[in-house]
Structure 1
Amino acid sequence: MVSVTAVSDEPSVVTALYLRTKALHLEAERTGIVADILRGAASRDGYVLLMRNLHPAYRELEDGIERHRNSPILAPLARWCLARTSAIAADLTALAGPNWAEQWPLLPEGEAYARTITLAAEGDGSRLIAHAYTRYLGDLNGGQIVRRLLEKSLGLGASELSHYDFSAIAEPATLKSDYRQALERAGAAAAASDAIVKEGAHAFECNIALSVAVQRRLADTLVPRPS
């Protein structure tokens, strides 16, 4: 009798995240300040307010991965020090001055997004895979389109868009491939892939809520510019 090795029909974690969040991704592109950016219609204030509210989310993501850097699950991700938190801070300083954190509001939706990532870092930290997928692969894919749109529509320069510049780490296409493989290895080591995929949907929901909140804040009030 010939033994047959069972082959799993389960998709890889990156594929599963893509399939689960595909519709949410499209919704995110058509909603709030992100839709304005993609149409070339966003204001400088809108972009500053968005990035000011994404900064805590990146900080919690990078702190969480660092705390789990020696775990078999997140070690493949910790190998890549993408350091977007410091890049965003540098961009905000260039865009809005050194006191941007005090002068530009942290919206409830921005706080909620960061808190979601803080909670995802609990336990074995495996749910951080979903947030790394959402943020970092997003930056390496659509983020490069966003950078070009912002250069054209708002006249932003390199010192204001370092968030999208990964050249000090690796060539973007190579980095995108390597980081995707790191996500796959992390997902394969995790015990609960369903929880990671569910977290991916939640991550997109947080992004959509923040995007809408930024657009609403701009419509409701004048965001103060630094003096």
Structure 2
Amino acid sequence: MDRNKDHPAFAPLYFPTELHRKEALIKDMEYFFGENWEEQVKCSEAAQKYVDRIHYVGQNEPELLVAHAYTRYMGDLSGGQVLKKVAQRALKLPSTGEGTQFYLFEHVDNAQQFKQFYRARMNALDLNLKTKERIVEEANKAFEYNMQVLGTDHGAYFMEL
């Protein structure tokens, strides 16, 4: 997504400080698996397909990144907060946030207001009808990719909690 931060269809939705999750995810992985987590944890086939799709879209149809950003970030700001609490209880994680950094948006003061702001920015994008339809189709694909990732061993384990 960083490579497309200046694309006219995506730039209005690019909020790296507020939304990027990479550093938070790394902290969580280090908490659960240690500093050499990359040697221990392999990307599932479903997750790799999702990553490949995002890379393809970013290189060939960057306007469709709108769908992936919306699906990912709005999901994490909404249902992700529920998953955070479930994980904390089920895994007996400390209330200080270790192991759930992925769901902590420290630069978003009010998730509800930010989601409204983000939706308004998305709805204000100057896109033709065909592009809007393609974004909706891509959002459905993104949702399916997410469901496939959650259906893998790692995802299914988390959903059992």
Residues 164, 215 of structure 1: CA spacing in aligned structure 2 closer, same or farther, 3 A cutoff? Answer: closer
Given the alignment, which residue of 108, 123, 127 partners 1:169? 108
Match of 2:45 in 1: 108
Instruction: Output one character per residue of 1:149-187: Cα deviation in whole Å (capped at 9) or x when no partner.
Output: 1111111230211111113333222222222222223xx
Distance in 2 (CA, whole Å) between partners of 1:133 and 1:97 is 31
Residues 190, 121 of structure 1: CA spacing in aligned structure 2 closer, same or farther, 3 A cutoff? Answer: farther
For the 8 Å contact 1:109–1:210, the answer to whether it is kept is: yes
CA RMSD of the aligned region, Å? 2.0
Match of 2:3 in 1: 67
Residue 206 of structure 1 deviates from its aligned partner by 1.1
Distance in 2 (CA, whole Å) between partners of 1:190 and 1:113 is 25
Mapped pair 1:200 → 2:139 = yes
Residue 131 of structure 1 deviates from its aligned partner by 0.7
Residues 204, 217 of structure 1: CA spacing in aligned structure 2 closer, same or farther, 3 A cutoff? Answer: closer
Match of 2:24 in 1: 87
Larger radius of gyration: 1
Distance in 2 (CA, whole Å) between partners of 1:141 and 1:167 is 15
Residue 111 of structure 1 deviates from its aligned partner by 0.8
Normalised by the size of structure 1, how large is the TM-score? 0.61
Match of 2:33 in 1: 96
Mapped pair 1:209 → 2:148 = yes
Normalised by the size of structure 2, how large is the TM-score? 0.84
SS of corresponding position for 2:63 = coil
Given the alignment, which residue of 120, 124, 129 partners 2:66? 129
Match of 2:121 in 1: 182
Distance in 2 (CA, whole Å) between partners of 1:216 and 1:129 is 24
Residues 78, 101 of structure 1: CA spacing in aligned structure 2 closer, same or farther, 3 A cutoff? Answer: same
Residue 124 of structure 1 deviates from its aligned partner by 4.9
How many residues align? The count is: 152
Question: Partner amino acid for 1:181?
Answer: A
Residue 215 of structure 1 deviates from its aligned partner by 5.6
Distance in 2 (CA, whole Å) between partners of 1:215 and 1:97 is 17
SS of corresponding position for 1:121 = helix
SS of corresponding position for 2:152 = helix
Match of 1:120 in 2: 57
SS of corresponding position for 2:6 = coil
Unpaired stretches in structure 1, ≥5 consecutive residues: 1-63, 219-227
**Identity of counterpart residues, as a percentage?**
29
